Amino acid sequence: MKANKWKLWVLIYSPVVLKSVLSSLHFNNWIDFVYVCCHLVKPSITFDNINTAHRHLKSFCEKCNEIYTTTILIYNMHLHLHFRETIFNFGPVYSYWLFAFERYNGLLKNISTNSKNGFEATFMKCFVEDIYKNNKSLPPTSLPLSASKPSSMGDIDYSHLLEYYKLTYLTPDLVHYQNAAASPFFVDNQIIKLKSINILGQVFYGNNGTTGRRSYVQSLFLGSDRSIETTFTCQIKYIFIHSFTPPPTSPYYEADSTHHDQHVFVFVNWLLLHGDKS
């Protein structure tokens, strides 16, 4: 079966079909694996999803070691306990080849050959060359963004930024940069403004004191029950990059330590809503 059919079997069919077949001990162990797949098999996941999946996967592996002795089953689940770090490094499982052999097979498949005898030697030669090329991504300085020099954020706008970090990272004790001497956990007011940003092929522009062309956007908000859709129109005042690392007191500190500290924000001016004049 292909991966998509395996996903259907694990997530939808197996909890129903296996309940009357397996003992409660074996079934509960299998459900741990089902929970793992529910959390990981998503195009977009949160840190909480990843950590929850890791706990279930660890429990699944430990119980397998107790239930299935070597006389019954010999298995290798070493990679299971590294999924969390792998996802932190490469993103959700849909964004990369999860299995090392599958990934390398894909690399070999993309090597051009003449489809004649001896292509094995071509595979090996190109593969070894790729290993020792030491190809690395160009440094950011070689492909500069359309960005301005660092500048100080205005105090009025800064108050919104400070409040955002407090709510997002659950750290109400963050202090204003003007009170940095009182606490090491403060939010800096230095930002880097961008003229534009490309998100999934859509380019967004900031007003940045110009005529404002191409800076108007519509944002769709869902109600708390996700059934009420409301659209608001706004003008992008400016787009900016801000660096911030959560303090150790934040529950997101350990997870976010594997990620870059740069955040990209869009500061907007919301337009007033007018009633229907038809």
Could you give the CA distance from residue 224 to residue 201 in angstroms, rounded to a whole number? 29
CB 50 within 8 A of CB 87: yes
89 and 169 housed in the same domain = no
260 and 156 housed in the same domain = yes
**CB-based contacts of 246: which residues, under 8 Å, 6+ apart?**
169, 171, 252, 253, 256
Reported as a pLDDT band with limits 50, 70 and 90, residue 278 is very low
pTM comes to 0.46
Q: Per mean pLDDT, which range of 96-100, 127-131, 187-191, 257-261 is the poorest? A: 257-261
Which residues, listed in sequence order, are joined to residue 175 by a DSSP beta bridge?
A: 186
Does residue 143 form part of some domain? no
Please name the amino acid found at residue 204: F
Does residue 94 form part of some domain? yes
Could you give the CA distance from residue 6 to residue 244 in angstroms, rounded to a whole number? 40
Q: Which tens digit of pLDDT belongs to each residue from 162-172?
A: 999 999 888 88
79 and 174 housed in the same domain = no
Q: Per mean pLDDT, which range of 5-9, 19-23, 78-82, 174-178 is the poorest? A: 78-82
Any alpha helices (H) in the chain, and if so which ranges? 3-8, 14-17, 24-40, 47-67, 83-90, 100-109, 119-132, 155-168, 253-256
